[in-house]
Structure 1
């Protein structure tokens, strides 16, 4: 979209005006990125390009994990500038730190309600506050890229007032929470949204309010635009689900987050979602065993690429049912709380080798599962592996750190998090020295008692030369270990280093800026560093400390 110059308007102002005027199109953003490259701002240009590529990339794409990791790295490099480039919002709104496609996307209506004892969170905004937000909304959408608005403590009348503003029509995302958290109130808010002009452009709705199936079916969203639905709680009658499943907007959904759906509704709702031809991402909390039938469907979920289960009581039955499903495009699976017996059926599923991301954290997997995974057909393809909080010993760790078995692995999370380990520090040092994951870019070994010997082993390991983010929280590392990390010729590309909750007293190795020169995020919290030494670090490393 071409933009003419106002008298006195700079070239950059004109480019930004074009971005804001056509906030749904990547082309003006990429044109601005080219301009940034030509004007000595290559990191910001790369941030915009990477986020645009990520937004348009399917989760099933083999390059998706690479893009996700790249986006995290670029955001670290952009660092402080990321916050400084966010425009000041008009009075009545405040930023949430969420950038999409390179620009701020999310804001919260700031009602500035004074807390009322025993009633905080149940006080609707007053007329003057609503008037202020409504008056500032045209400024928000005309001068920023914010298109997702969070509206808290809503009543139907207040929500209707805000959404009736002509400027609200360009919003593509809403997060709505009620004054009174009950299904009847949630349904009333849905009716307001469904009757407002906003619904024509709505792409993402986060209903931070209970609702019923019948109330949700009345949303009447635009099937050509609507993509993402977050449901905190759903109640009502099973008999109403067929009407919901037939709604064109429901069948067009790409991303669904089910938090607390009443037990009798879980199965029928999953069956309905299995028939949604475009559904790519599904997150389910508190799934009950009675709702498992849809997961084994031979014809359902044709486009599902990401599947996440959290806070489920019977992960064994879920895993067994999943193992019998078809899932032709599944690439990213999260299922917490597995043990060796419940993991085995998943490992044998015909779709398991196509995964690029697997997260089975917070369970009781042992060395047997680590060895089985490392020898499976899935191992060569995996790019992201998260298995923190499991029961591995030195044999399991060695299997997971074997680069011959996991040649593509770019991110490994082994954070012990809670509990104790039988692995001795000397064995951990040998594990650190033997890590041979040469494509690794992210490594989290938090909680494992590496000590200085383990830190020195990591520092001396040439296979870690591509690591850009290293998290070693609670590893018993002292100043000698940190010195080895800072001096390591293999780790000079680090963008992030977390040595939270260790035994550092001075961290003097970081006083030399030439060591770890690319560092953009540093966590030294919960270390016994004296104020004077922390001040010296601040002088040497600036805002990082």
Structure 2
């Protein structure tokens, strides 16, 4: 448990939660109190929070964080034994807990006496949603995590009846079997005016209709981060978000594993939201979204792409034309990582874009072309063009992915045009593997 004289420092941390300075003052106090490991953990986690994902200082700091947590976690959280399943530290402070829902209802007061809880994850909440919604303790948390809680639409509606959600800043509803009916109920909830972060990922059944209802809601104007990955969002749903006047504060929009297609990417690339997203995070992910050559060309033409350092388009339908269109972009000067796995790239596409790959290898550190349609011929072109430059090129899972230093002869090398002759078979196999997406990107 915290020493009594620590409390003023913790009060300052939580009163100015986004400010690093109260945490650094607290770290100085811990140093003076003979707690150097706890003090260092605060400073290390603050440094990690400020560093980019590819910063060369990150690995050493991450290793040090692991060492410090191993030494301090047990003593720092011993007073929570029997109350919580796990405790997480954010920027040096233990303020996030996972708790069984029945334990929270029975002993929540005790928990809050022992720890300042900012983020609460409730485990197995579905059978107790009515009681949870009636608990005044919910008013004391700022982030509520109900991920994988088996809520369904009915459970979400029960939760939204709670009058104790008005202070929530983050709500995680991922993996809960929600559909458009649940999102529509959420869109009509007037208790969540302070919400800045909303996760609806991997519910599978949310479509563009549900997302349009949320985008039109006047109650979510404060959102800065929205995650709808792993659903059935179409181009109209994506366009509703990027065109929403009520969501003009949004800076993070995660839409992987949907079906926004070329039209959705065009709407995104032409929007102010796209520039805000890349200004906030230089890593852009649009995986498995039925994006074809037209979408790739729209993305390549967008000036905001100049801020991008990592671009992940894995699992789309760019093909030879789309890859070439992307590589011709004049806005890839900062790009360090490009992921184009599962995009139907063929040898002839690599051959035609040889000069484009040559220019790319002068900039990037990683190029992922795994699980395309390359044979020894296409991979040998890449190897020749790379010409010893320090670029990691990933080609595993292609038609013929040779082990390092070895390139056996492919059947398509011996019988030119054979791969084209079996294009129909490839298309059929792709439709079976990806039944939600059509090959024309719609």
TM-score w.r.t. the length of structure 2 is 0.65
**Aligned twin of 2:90:** 100
Give SS of 2:254's match: strand
1:412 to 366, 369, 383: 366
1:201 has 2:167 as partner: yes
How many residues align structurally? 373
1:204 Cα offset (Å): 0.9
- The Cα offsets for residues 235-270 of structure 1, whole Å up to 9 and x where unpaired, read as xxxxxxxxxxxxxxxxxxxxxxx8643553333433
**Aligned twin of 1:109:** 99
Q: Distance in 1 between matches of 2:372 and 2:358?
A: 21
1:91 Cα offset (Å): 1.0
Preserved CA contact (<8 Å) 1:366 1:390: yes
**Aligned twin of 1:27:** 21
- The Cα offsets for residues 21-45 of structure 1, whole Å up to 9 and x where unpaired, read as 7332532322355678995899745
Give SS of 1:316's match: helix
**Aligned twin of 2:300:** 347
> Structure 1 residues 274 and 31, CA, compared in 2 at 3 Å: closer, same or farther?
same
Give SS of 1:319's match: helix
Q: Distance in 1 between matches of 2:94 and 2:57?
A: 19
**Aligned twin of 1:229:** 198
1:318 has 2:318 as partner: no
Preserved CA contact (<8 Å) 2:357 2:385: no
**Aligned twin of 1:172:** 142
1:309 Cα offset (Å): 2.4
1:294 has 2:240 as partner: yes
> Structure 1 residues 232 and 404, CA, compared in 2 at 3 Å: closer, same or farther?
closer
Preserved CA contact (<8 Å) 1:307 1:330: yes
- The Cα offsets for residues 516-540 of structure 1, whole Å up to 9 and x where unpaired, read as xxxxxxxxxxxxxxxxxxxxxxxxx
Give SS of 2:298's match: helix
**Aligned twin of 1:48:** 45
Alignment of 1:449-528 (within 5 A): 449=401, 451-453=403-405
1:153 has 2:125 as partner: yes
Give SS of 1:85's match: helix
Preserved CA contact (<8 Å) 2:119 2:145: no
What runs of 5+ residues in structure 2 fail to find an aligned partner?
407-442
Preserved CA contact (<8 Å) 1:339 1:363: yes
1:366 Cα offset (Å): 4.4
1:159 Cα offset (Å): 0.7
> Structure 1 residues 309 and 40, CA, compared in 2 at 3 Å: closer, same or farther?
closer
- The Cα offsets for residues 40-84 of structure 1, whole Å up to 9 and x where unpaired, read as 899745532224436xxxxxxxxx6657x8657632453354355
- The Cα offsets for residues 86-124 of structure 1, whole Å up to 9 and x where unpaired, read as 34333131126x54323444322136xxxxxxxxxxxxx
**Aligned twin of 1:266:** 211
Give SS of 1:329's match: helix
Give SS of 2:146's match: strand
1:329 has 2:276 as partner: yes
Preserved CA contact (<8 Å) 1:263 1:288: yes
**Aligned twin of 1:445:** 394
**Aligned twin of 1:373:** 326
Give SS of 1:358's match: strand
Give RMSD over aligned pairs: 4.5
1:435 has 2:389 as partner: yes
**Aligned twin of 1:184:** 154
What runs of 5+ residues in structure 1 fail to find an aligned partner?
55-63, 112-124, 234-257, 438-442, 455-545
Preserved CA contact (<8 Å) 1:151 1:174: no
1:187 Cα offset (Å): 1.1
1:218 has 2:189 as partner: yes
Give the structure with the higher percent helix.
Answer: 2
> Structure 1 residues 219 and 435, CA, compared in 2 at 3 Å: closer, same or farther?
farther
Preserved CA contact (<8 Å) 1:95 1:107: yes
Give SS of 2:124's match: strand
TM-score w.r.t. the length of structure 1 is 0.55
Q: Distance in 2 between matches of 1:179 and 1:389?
A: 32
Q: Distance in 1 between matches of 2:357 and 2:60?
A: 24
> Structure 1 residues 326 and 40, CA, compared in 2 at 3 Å: closer, same or farther?
closer
1:387 to 321, 326, 340: 340
Give SS of 2:276's match: coil
Preserved CA contact (<8 Å) 1:379 1:405: no
Preserved CA contact (<8 Å) 2:368 2:393: yes
1:380 Cα offset (Å): 0.8
Preserved CA contact (<8 Å) 1:292 1:321: yes
> Structure 1 residues 227 and 71, CA, compared in 2 at 3 Å: closer, same or farther?
farther
